[in-house]
Structures are given as C-alpha cells and as structure tokens.
Amino acid sequence: MTSSLADLAKRFTDIVPLKPPVDPATLTHKQLVEVPDFRRIPAYKDVTDAQFLDHHWQAKHSITRPDKLLNALRDLVSAEFIQDATEGFSHAPMSVRVSPYLLSLIDWSDPYKDPLRTQFIPLRSRMLPDHPKLGLDSLHEREDAPVAGLTHRYIDKALFLPLDTCPVYCRFCTRSYAVGVDTEEVEKTHFKVDEERWAKAFAYIASRPELEDIVVSGGDAYNLRAEQIRQIGDALLAIDHIQRIRIATKGPAVMPQKILTDHDWVDAVTQVVEAGRKLHKEVVVHTHFNHPNEITGITRDAMNRLFERGITVRNQSVMQRGVNDTPEVMRLLVKRLGHVHVHPYYVYVHDLVKGTEDLRTTVSTAITVEKHVRGSTAGFNTPTFVVDAPGGGGKRDAHSFEHYDRTTGISVYQAPSVKPGKLFVYFDPIDQLPEEGRTRWADPAQHEVMLEEALAKARAGLRW
Ligand code: SF4
C-alpha cells in the first residue's frame, strides 16, 4: 500500500469488514510465469533472452517436422514417449509447427499429462477410434462457400480464409481439411494467398448488402504480411455495408513475442482499427487461448501493447479433455484472460474432428463447467459455452438442445435463424458414455435407430 493509501486506511478505522479479505496468494490468475525457463530444453541452452523474445528467432526456430521435434526433446523425455509421439504423428491429420516458446511452456517431466503437449503433440497410445458419425469439415464450411475460402452461412456475416498457414498447427483444428501441408492421412483443400481469389471474395462481399460482419481467419492472420493486413482491411472497409471486421489469430497464445517485436504488423493492425473507427466501423482481434499456462508475462506485455492502442481482443477457447474440462482450470483461464485484457467470448464444445476423439468431451461436461464459471467474474468477461452444430447449424448454446440422451450421447439442436426447420445433431465421445450407450454404438445396426429415436423425441418436444 502506498503511504497515502495507508493513511486513508488509518482514517476509516470504523469500516466493518463483512467478509474476511482474500489472501492475495490465492489470486492465482494474477500469478504469471514472466518468461518460461526455456534453457532447460537442451536445444535452447545457449539462447539469449533477447533471442527468445524476438519473433524472428521464434519463427525461424519453429519446428515443422516430427523427427526434428522429437530430436529436440530426446534428452528430456523417455524413449517410450518418443516412440508414442512418432506413431501419433504418423496417424494425425494435422501438420506440425511448434514454436520454441510453446515447447518451453510444456512440463517435460510429465509430458503425458501436460495440457499444452496434449493439444499439439499427438500420442498413439492416447488415440481413440473416431466416432462413426465424424468427418473432416464437420461444420460443412465448404458447402456454404460461394467462393473458395469464403463461407457465407449466417445472413449478416461471412468467414474469409485468406491463407492456409498458421504460426502453430493444432491437433484439433476444425479446418484440418485445409490448414497446413498435406499429411500421411489427409490431402488438403489449399487456400493459398492468391490475389485473384481474394478479389473474387471481396466482389462477392460487395454484392451482398446483407453482410455486415467479416471474420478474417485462416490459416492465421499472424502469417499475413503487414501490407496484406492493410490490403484486406482497406478492401473490406471500403465496402459500405461492412460494419465489423474480426482479425482472427492464435498467435498471442503461441508466439506473443510478435506483438512486441514485429512493429510493422502491429502498426498495420492498428491502422486498420483506426481507419475503421473513423468510418464508425469496428475492427477487433479474435484469439484462441485454451489453458491458463499459455498466458505468461510476455503475453501480458503483448496484450497491454494492443490495449494501449485501443484494440479489443476477444478469446475463443475449445473445451478439451485433460486440458480445460474442469471448473477449476476453466475458471482460472477465464479470470486470467480478463486480467490481461482479453475478453473470454466463447468456449466451444470440441468439433467432430478426425483423430481427436481423446480430446472431445460430452455436452453435459460443458454444461457443468459453464455452471461453475458463471458468476466467478463479471458477466461481460464470462464466455458462452456453445456447440458448433455439425452440418452447418452454427453456434448453439450448449444447454439449448431440443433433446439430449446422455446414454447414447446424442444431442439435437435447432437453428431457426440459420436453417429454419432443420435439426442438427451432436455426438458425445463414445468412450465417455455409460455401458448401455457404448454397447449400442458397437452395433452398426443401432446407429440409425439411435439417431431416429433422438430426432423423434426432439420433434415431440422431449428434452430428455
Ligand atoms: S491456429 Fe487455428 S486455424 Fe491454425 S491450426 Fe490452430 S486451430 Fe487451426
């Protein structure tokens, strides 16, 4: 307490505390690792702080091949883990890219349990068979795409994918059909940076006066050059009916250094935000933190830099088993995000993505976690927990199902303002179901029967 505050406290000795003061040691959301202990990774033992804090160094030393990644870890983890991960990569639909920063945040003394390892390094021993109803592009983004890389599903908003690369590749990516290089498992639909394709997307957006809101995603806007950010911003802001632009990037969670050292990129984003403000249009950044360990002192400094420039940052998390599927971890994540000026906006129940069954949780887990998070901080900093309805229903409040059978794990949703009259179905992971549900899914003849039962109950208005 400063002396003037101490004097003030002395003046009002008659304040009767209704609650005992909270022990500051329990305010864990404020306790950040300033800079991760990167030198404990043998490959980085001679790296200087200045190098580690520079985005060029981080980008140049990001690892893009499983064998190189595992080589960098060889002295830190067991041979059994290396073998497990080698086999995991050969069965994964996603490419590999991890920054030294990300590797430094992982607890290599217990890599099987670490929540960041879980998100980025697949292990064969943890993999489960895909759900029989699962497919790539479960959200049917390509079906709602009038131009390659532009999805127009909701009336007033569209999703523009200007490129197909990211500063990191996440095991659980919804766009694993397009993002990153081809893998042994998947040959992808590529959305390369292509002026002609971009021009077509802008022409479509200009031709649709109902569009007000454009999400610029990818891939990842971190990988756009400063002049490309300006080019996209200028083109979209010049369209009269566009009122809002969201620039989506996972970068702050995996390489916050860029915001502190890539002045050109940050200036470009700032210029688009300011140009938008003068035109009374909102331009914001959307990002993607999933676990409180992803937020360090470097993140705080990076977010403060955007905050000083008046840039709003919102977060969209994905709920994942063993990562953030408990009330304690999710509460800490939400509070920590608020602490570094990032608004927790959505928590998605994990999409039906190939090769990620071990990461998915049930809808009922999401509902329970939401119940515990709501009320732990201000409402505007409390995320909405949603299911992105497979088949193109868009985001539905997790608890807004028409019908949910916890035995078969089938939940049914409606999206009257997106696709009126249609029912959308989400499937809980089979290994999390009670025995009766697992037995029914083991019999292919039961699959359609279970689905029809659930749809019939939804139509009859039976929630359970
Ligand atoms: S950063 Fe986003 S788009 Fe890129 S791999 Fe991860 S989830 Fe997918």
The residue assigned the tokens 């009859």 is: 460
Instruction: For 196, list phi and psi in degrees, rounded to 5.
Output: -65, -45
> Can you state the percent helix, strand and coil of the chain, rounding each to 5?
40, 15, 45
Residue pair 118/320 in contact by the 8 Å Cβ criterion: yes
Statement: residue 14 has pLDDT above 90: no
334 band by pLDDT with thresholds 50, 70 and 90: very high
More confident residue, 379 or 137: 379
369 band by pLDDT with thresholds 50, 70 and 90: very high
Alpha helices in 91-152 (DSSP H): 100-105, 115-120
Q: Does the CB atom of residue 166 touch ligand 1 within 6 A? A: yes
Q: Does the CB atom of residue 251 touch ligand 1 within 6 A? A: no
SS3 of 290, please?
Answer: coil
Q: Which atom of ligand 1 is nearest to the CA of 167?
A: 1
Handedness of CA 355, 361, 366, 367 (dihedral sign): positive
Q: Which atom of ligand 1 is nearest to the CA of 217?
A: 3
Q: Which atom of ligand 1 is nearest to the CA of 254?
A: 1
What is the distance in A from the centroid of ligand 1 to the CA of 137?
13
Nearest CA to ligand 1 atom 8: 173
d(CA 100, CA 120): 13
Q: How many percent of the chain have pLDDT more than 90?
A: 76
**C-alpha separations of 79 from 63, 75, 171, 184, 331 in Å:** 20, 9, 22, 23, 35
Q: Does the CB atom of residue 173 touch ligand 1 within 6 A? A: yes
Residue 116: Cβ within 10 Å count: 22
Q: Does the CB atom of residue 286 touch ligand 1 within 6 A? A: no
pLDDT tens per residue across span 383-428: 999 999 888 888 999 999 999 999 999 999 999 988 899 999 999 9
Question: What is the pLDDT at residue 176?
Answer: 65
Nearest CA to ligand 1 atom 6: 170
Q: How many percent of the chain have pLDDT more than 70?
A: 94
Q: Does the CB atom of residue 338 touch ligand 1 within 6 A? A: no
Statement: residue 454 has pLDDT above 80: yes
Residue pair 156/172 in contact by the 8 Å Cβ criterion: no
What is the distance in A from the centroid of ligand 1 to the CA of 170?
6
Residue 281: Cβ within 10 Å count: 19
Statement: residue 172 has pLDDT above 90: no
More confident residue, 115 or 354: 115
Write down the pTM of the prediction.
0.94
Question: What is the pLDDT at residue 255?
Answer: 97
* Residue in 357, 359, 386 with CA at minimum distance from that of residue 370: 386
Question: What is the pLDDT at residue 285?
Answer: 98
Lowest mean pLDDT, pick from 215-219, 367-371, 408-412: 215-219
Q: Which residues contact 406 (CB under 8 A, 6 or more apart)?
A: 362, 364, 428, 433, 434, 437
Mean of per-residue pLDDT scores for the chain: 92
pLDDT tens per residue across span 247-273: 999 999 999 999 999 999 999 999 999
Q: Say which amino acid occupies 130.
A: D
186 band by pLDDT with thresholds 50, 70 and 90: low
Residue pair 60/129 in contact by the 8 Å Cβ criterion: no
5 band by pLDDT with thresholds 50, 70 and 90: confident
Q: Does the CB atom of residue 433 touch ligand 1 within 6 A? A: no
Residue pair 267/305 in contact by the 8 Å Cβ criterion: no
Question: What is the pLDDT at residue 189?
Answer: 61
Lowest mean pLDDT, pick from 50-54, 71-75, 376-380, 401-405: 71-75
More confident residue, 237 or 67: 237
Lowest mean pLDDT, pick from 101-110, 147-156, 317-326, 450-459: 147-156
Handedness of CA 173, 392, 185, 198 (dihedral sign): negative
Ligand 1, residues 64, 169, 222, 285: which to mutate, most atoms within 8 A of Cβ?
A: 169
